[in-house]
Structures are given as structure tokens and as C-alpha cells.
Amino acid sequence: MRVIPAIDIKDGRCVRLFKGKFDQVTEYAVDPAELAGRYQELGAGWIHCVDLDGARHGSPGNLQQIARIAGHLDAGIQVGGGIRDEAAIERLLGLGADRVVIGSVAAEKPGEALAWLREIGPERIVFALDVTIEDQDDAPMLVSRGWVETTRTSLWEALDRFGAGGLRHVLCTDIGRDGAMTGPAVDLYAECVRRYPEVAFQASGGVRHAADLTALAGTGAASAIVGKALLDGRISDEEIKPFLRNE
């Protein structure tokens, strides 16, 4: 399992939200491009960037910062946030993004998302199938629009549909854990891998320390997205390096 460091950008600055809530923001005094460069120096092969303004307003809002990051990295970069049409995908790819993360459209307009997947290719598209879990025995349900709307589609229904279209990369966040430092949804990702072994799952949300990464590696997930634990120094450089370099 490879760790993909996350850089969330709001108003051009590096931030983290608590459970995706825009009124609970922690800002970090570090330039997003410089932070990406630091992660690359540690050995990161991929960087995950989220345009939070785009996610909130439905159109990309931090293109200058994303272009700076892409222009200074040899590592791969995947970008999400506010991608609602094919023009936005092409714009990000043109700026140097290697993969584009599709969230709300995948949840709300699956036919359109499938068309993009087939046209642009499964190695250039990541579907962000973010979920809320009300009860341990309930199916995880997709959320959209910056995590403020819960759909009537379960994660399993979405994966059945998209798997038939050749889906390869899925980023799945348990939104109740994102930025909360409560531990990752290990059972969720183990079940994802059990049901859909052909999909490369990116586990996201809740990572607190290196032991959580070891637990996630045991699920069979291909990657883990880590943001706050790195920014807050809860995982040291020496602890993260083996996961950054692991193919």
C-alpha cells in the first residue's frame, strides 16, 4: 500500500476541514506547492490535491495553485473539487494533472460519469465515492455536493454500475472520520476489496498514526490518502517513508 499525501486548498492556502465542514477550518502556514515538493522529496510518487473552493461552488477555484504544484513535480498529481463537466477535466489535465477526481457527478449523474470514464480512460479518472454510514449494519450511502447531500445510492450499487464500465481507481472517504483523527474505517475498505478485488481503492479519512497505515495495508487497499496526520506531525518522516516508497 502506498500513502498519497493530501493537500487541501482554500483561497489559495493549505487548510484542513473537520468532517468536511467549511465553518471548521484549520489553516496551515505553508505554501501548497512547497508542501508538495517536500512530500516528493520524502519519496511520494503521487500527491492528492483538493480544490475546496471548487467543491463548494461547483467550479474550479484554485487553478493557479494547482498549476504551480503540477509544474514543479515529477510525482503524479491527482486533483478533485468542483469538476462538473468535461471541460473542467480537460482544463485540469492541460494544467498537468495526471488523474482527475470525479465526485458529485459520479454520485448524481452516473451515466455522464461513465461516458467520461470510457472517453478519457480509466487511468486518468478517479471516482470519489464518499460515504456516510449511519449504523454499522447499514450500507454506506453516497454523499455529494461537498458532502452536504446524501443520495439514495449505496456504495455497493455504485461500484456494481461503474465496475461494468471498466472503473479502476476509487477514492472512498467515510466522511464522519475525515479530519476527525478517530481512526480509519478499516472494515469498510476490507469489504470493498473483498467485493471488488479488481479496483484500486484509495482509503481516506481518520488516519492518526503509523499503526493506522499498517491496519489499512492489511485490508488490501492500494493507497491511503493522508492529510492532517502529516501536517500535524503525528506521523514522522521516518514512519511515512516506507509507505511513500512502497509500490
Q: Which residues are catalytic?
A: 8, 130
Asked if 99 contacts 125 with a C-beta cutoff of 8 angstroms, the reply is yes
Inter-residue contact 184 to 212 (CB < 8 Å) = yes
